[in-house]
């Protein structure tokens, strides 16, 4: 029963009033004058009440005067929405929620994010960090759109884009017997006090696995772990990216005999698509890391 108003004819009415005539309005609208006339007449019929006086001039009826500000209001709302959506699509506005594993968050993301906001100054980014499993759950649950993490289990719910390899090495204090070695094999670690950490599972399935069984400690927290290493209590294995460079007394010695690598990359929902802003982030991260080769290949 209610008439369905289309936006365009309302615009015509405004133009006619603003320009003071059908001809001028048609010119401004890049339409012909009959098109304007007919659209207005159609609108009037739909409303059941004329908007313009019949006689010659383009003068509003009282009803037309009543309608005018309301038309203007609706068009304003429409344009505001249109502009807003357009900004989203054009990545001139929007928000990306993402998560990353701590090593990535602290070593890669600062540079990436500062470059990103240079490229997309109007986008906003939220980043949280946590274990690889934590990141995976956030992405799977839709709480973040993108995760930067290492993959250890394929999942058809999620899709993973590998971006770089990160090789595992041994971390010890600079006065440790192994500290001066350029590289190590797993045999060299036998008999050492090995501290397990969250990344130790990378060694599972390799020749080095038996070493894990002997380890007396399992420290997941990075602060605690480095404290123990600095105290010289033992050694550990870490991916190169997770090695805390800021501790002067710690050394990273690549483990070459069982060459263990973790694969870092972007995790995103498998079927679902991303918001325009997240699409921009995904493409940007992939492009950045592809061209720069951040870590060892």
Partner DNA sequence: ATCCGATGATCAGTCTTTCTTACCACAAGG
Partner DNA sequence: CCTTGTGGTAAGAAAGACTGATCATCGGAT
User: Contact positions toward its own copies, by CB under 8 A?
Assistant: 1-8, 47-50, 53, 55, 59, 61-63, 66-67, 70, 73-74, 77-79, 81-86, 88-89, 145, 271-276, 278
Helix (H) or strand (E) holding 223: helix 222-230
Partner whose binding site includes residue 274, from its own copies, DNA, none (CB under 5 to 8 Å by kind): its own copies
How many whole angstroms separate alpha carbon 118 and alpha carbon 111? 11
Do residues 146 and 159 make contact, with C-beta atoms less than 8 angstroms apart? no
**Residue 4 binding partner per list its own copies, DNA, none, with a CB distance cut-off of 5 to 8 Å that depends on partner kind:** its own copies
Complex with its own copies: residue 59 or 216, whichever CB lies closer:
59
- Nearest approach in angstroms of CB 204 to DNA is 33
Q: What is the binding site for DNA (CB under 7 A)?
A: 6, 8, 16, 21-24, 30-35, 37-42, 52, 54-58
CA distances from 280 to 64, 104, 292 (A): 46, 19, 18
105 binds, among its own copies, DNA, none (CB under 5 to 8 A by kind): none
Per partner kind, with CB cut-offs from 5 to 8 A, the member of its own copies, DNA, none near residue 41 is DNA
* CA distances to 40, 57, 150, 264, 287 from 161, in Å: 54, 66, 10, 8, 12
CB of 2 to its own copies, least distance (A): 5
**105: number of Cβ within 10 Å:** 20
Of the two residues 52 and 243, which places its CB atom closer to DNA in the complex?
Answer: 52
Task: Give CA separation, 154 vs 150, 161, 164, 266, in Å.
Answer: 11, 11, 17, 13
66 binds, among DNA, its own copies, none (CB under 5 to 8 A by kind): its own copies
From the list its own copies, DNA, none, partner contacted by residue 86 (C-beta under 5 to 8 A by kind):
its own copies
Cα 296 from Cα 163, distance rounded (Å)? 11
CA angle 265, 271, 274 (to 5 degrees): 65
CB of 167 to its own copies, least distance (A): 35
When CB distances are held under 5 to 8 angstroms depending on the partner's kind, the choice from its own copies, DNA, none that residue 81 binds is its own copies
d(CA 84, CA 18): 26
Nearer to DNA, 31 or 165 (CB): 31
Least separation in angstroms between CB 58 and DNA: 3
CA angle 182, 245, 291 (to 5 degrees): 85
Smallest distance from its own copies to CB 44, Å: 11
Residue 43 or 108 having the CB closest to DNA? 43
CB of 61 to DNA, least distance (A): 12
CB 220 within 8 A of CB 261: no
Give the number of C-alpha atoms closer than 13 A to the C-alpha of residue 68, restricted to the C-beta side: 16
* Residue with smaller CB distance to its own copies, 142 or 185: 142
Query: 114 vs 271, which CB is nearer to its own copies?
Result: 271
Listed in sequence order, the residues at least 6 apart from 179 whose beta carbon sits closer than 8 Å to its beta carbon are 172, 173, 251, 253
């Amino acid at each position: 029963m209610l008439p369905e108003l289309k936006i365009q004819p309302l615009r015509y009415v405004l133009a006619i009033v603003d320009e003071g005539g059908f001809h001028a309005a048609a010119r401004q609208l890049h339409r012909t004058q009959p098109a304007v006339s007919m659209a207005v007449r159609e609108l009037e019929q739909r409303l059941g009440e004329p908007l313009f006086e019949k006689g010659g001039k383009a003068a509003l009826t009282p009803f037309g005067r009543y309608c005018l500000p309301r038309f203007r209001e609706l068009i304003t709302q429409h344009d505001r929405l249109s502009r807003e959506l357009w900004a989203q699509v054009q990545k001139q506005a929007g928000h990306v929620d993402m998560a990353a594993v701590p090593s990535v968050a602290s070593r890669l993301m600062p540079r990436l994010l500062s470059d990103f906001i240079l490229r997309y100054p109007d986008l906003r980014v939220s980043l949280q960090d946590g274990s690889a499993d934590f990141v995976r759950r956030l992405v799977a649950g839709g709480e973040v759109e993108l995760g930067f993490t290492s993959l250890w289990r394929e999942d058809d719910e999620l899709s993973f884009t590998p971006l770089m390899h990160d090789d595992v090495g041994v971390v010890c204090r600079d006065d440790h017997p192994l500290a001066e070695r350029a590289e190590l094999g797993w045999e060299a670690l036998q008999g050492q006090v090995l501290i397990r950490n969250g990344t130790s599972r990378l060694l599972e399935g390799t020749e080095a696995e038996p070493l894990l069984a002997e380890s007396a400690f399992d420290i997941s927290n990075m602060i605690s772990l480095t404290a123990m290493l600095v105290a010289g209590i033992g050694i550990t294995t870490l991916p190169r990216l997770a090695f805390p460079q800021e501790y002067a007394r710690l050394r990273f010695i690549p483990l070459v005999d069982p060459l263990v690598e973790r694969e870092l990359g972007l995790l995103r929902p498998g079927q679902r698509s991303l918001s325009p802003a997240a699409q921009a982030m995904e493409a940007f991260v992939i492009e950045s890391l592809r061209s720069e080769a951040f870590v060892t290949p």
